[in-house]
A and B are shown apart, each in its own frame.
Chain A
Amino acid sequence: MNEIILKSRKRIRRESILGFVFISPWIAGFLIFTLYPIIYSLYLSFTMTGEGGALKWIGWDNYLTAFKERDFWLSIKNTLILSGIGIPIAQIMALLAALLLNIRMKHQGLFRTIFFLPSVVPAVATGLLWKWILNPRLGPINGFLEQLGIAGPGWLADPSWVKPSLILMSFWGIGGTMVIYLAGLQNIPNELYEAAELDGASSWARLKSITLPLLRPVTLFNTIMGIITSFQSFTQIIIMLDMDGGIEKSGLVYGLYIYTNAFRDFKMGYASALSWILLIITAITVGITMKFFREKTN
């Protein structure tokens, strides 16, 4: 009896040790390269830089200031709108694209490459192109609408159209997410489909009962990474609009707000506080998402 307990204890200990051995590269890297910058930024968030570069401890001031700032709330609102609408739609479109290009057909590889192309083209180039495409006066979209007798919207020149434009542009970059879904689709055994087919299941039923459930880990990955990157993103805004987030700050996102505070206004302390607020918001959102996925799985 005792021996069995001892043996299983030994096994558990061995497994723990092995687990730590395997993850040790990351732990080492975290302790050496990541921990210090993280703690330093936390420290900075309670300070401001004074004359001669001296850091002054100001307690919760930076955090309290943030809650009083109009731009803080505006950037949170803009980010939530863009992410809340953009992420689900982009996920669905990437998944649909992956399903489409998972069907055996001629030139499949070529199609996949083409769908992936916009993700490879540098942002400066796509930015320039989009500016032209969405140009309300000279661009092809409004030109086409005009021929149909419809007056096109102002796109980036109209504060109420800025967000739809940005979401529209993001669809072009679904190639990356699509590739990850494609990789996920390969892990679904063909036998499952064959068996379902024999049972006479429709393709919709197969998608619902086989593909989607088995794809859940990949979907969770894509959604979480989508949230993390979307909450921090801002480079596209700078290229397409400007440092203030375009007309009436309609594109002022949280990442941009941090960026301008850190590098344009030289308020590293305030920017650090903003970043820690973002970390908390992101962590809560990701936590809810994970819980949602887990409930679905059960």
Chain B
Amino acid sequence: MIRIGKKRKVTVYITAVLLSVLFIFPFLWMVSTSFKTQDQIFDSPMNIIPDPFVDDAYINLFTENNFSRYFLNTIFVTGMTLLGVLISSSVVAFGFSYFKFPFKETLFKILLATMMLPAQVTMIPQYMLFDKLGWVGSFKPLIIPTFFGGTWVIFLLRQFFDTVPREYAEAAKIDGANEFRIFFRIYLPLAKAPVATSALFVFLWTWTDFLNPLIYLHDDRMYTLSIALQRISSGTHYPDWPVLMAGSLLMALPIIILFFSSQKTFINGASISGLKG
């Protein structure tokens, strides 16, 4: 955290406010649209305050679109994914960062390369594989692979682990700590910020993922929120914008709340300086 003089502080604050207006705009627009009637959407010039102000869209989501069921499904898939990705990826990232072993950098390059092949062409063979395992139509293809590490998270955490000074580990070793202890007691606490950041992104991507649930789930009752949203927008005619926006908002809300409330953890997480001395 940087501290600066009072005069500058005011300038910085004003800059932040001005930029915020730009960034909050789409959100306000979505909130506004979700409380409008279908006909108001096309008012020109656009009114940001809906008149009349209706909450039909939200009621529609739960009565006609069975949103509560989809919420539960999405919570389940996202929860399991978070658990799987974070545990496995932090272990793997530590392995890549802390130890010296043959082919380490080659293996890491392979890990990076797996992200470079577009999903469009691996999607179908992947499906065939899960089909042979008999997992298709269940949550398994969405959840089980996550327990084997997420490349993005492994990469991010390794970048952070690499910056941890070696002396900490050496000091701990002299005190008789083994590698597992070093991982749990030194590296993980130090990487609180990146681990929490990873959690945020994994949450965001899983929560909003459309393609994987779409492909692997074959039952309406198992669908997730993103597919439910797709259904709203796929009538043959014009989509019901208020309902679509209300649904998008409800979907985004948990992520926003999570981010806002857990800020302190992942941005002001423990810094190396705290452990010194």
Contacts and interface: CB of A to CB of B under 8 A. Distances in A.
Interface of A: 12, 15-30, 32-34, 36-38, 40-41, 44, 97, 99-107, 109-122, 124-126, 128-129, 132, 138, 172, 175-176, 179-180, 182-184, 186-191, 193, 203, 214, 217-218, 220-221, 224-225, 228, 231-232, 255, 258-259, 262-263, 268, 271-272, 275-276, 278-279, 282-283, 286
B57 interface: no
Interface stretch (B58-66, B71-79, B95-103, B216-224): B95-103
B117 A187 contact: no
Nearest to B196: A183
7 contacts: A16-B101, A38-B122, A103-B2, A115-B19, A125-B244, A190-B273, A225-B152
Given A100-B16, A179-B200, A187-B272, A23 B116 contact: no
Given A23-B96, A228-B116, A117 B23 contact: yes
Interface string B105-137: 001001111111111111111101100000000
B267 A29 contact: no
A126 B26 contact: yes
A138 B256 CA distance: 31
B160 A187 contact: yes
Given A25-B148, A41-B125, A100-B16, A221 B156 contact: yes
B259 interface: yes
Contact of A203 (B4, B94, B148): B4
Contacts of B38: none
Interface residues of B, number: 99
Given A117-B27, A217-B160, A183 B113 contact: no
Given A16-B99, A112-B263, A122 B129 contact: no
Interface of B: 1-4, 9, 12-13, 15-16, 19-20, 22-27, 29-30, 44, 46, 88, 91-92, 94-96, 98-102, 104, 107, 110-126, 128-129, 145, 147-149, 152, 154-156, 159-160, 162-163, 179, 183, 190, 193-194, 196-197, 200-201, 204, 208, 226, 229, 233, 241, 244-245, 248, 251-252, 255-256, 259-260, 263-264, 266-269, 271-273, 276
- Looking at chain B's contact residues, the main secondary structure is helix
Given A118-B26, A122-B251, A228-B116, A271 B16 contact: no
Nearest to B20: A114
B165 to A, nearest CB: 10
Contact of A259 (B120, B241, B267): B120
B9 A105 contact: yes
Contacts of A259: 120
Nearest to A179: B197
A263 B118 CA distance: 13
B114 A34 contact: yes
Nearest to B245: A125
A16 B183 CA distance: 16
A108 to B, nearest CB: 8
A128 B255 CA distance: 21
Contacts of B272: 187, 189
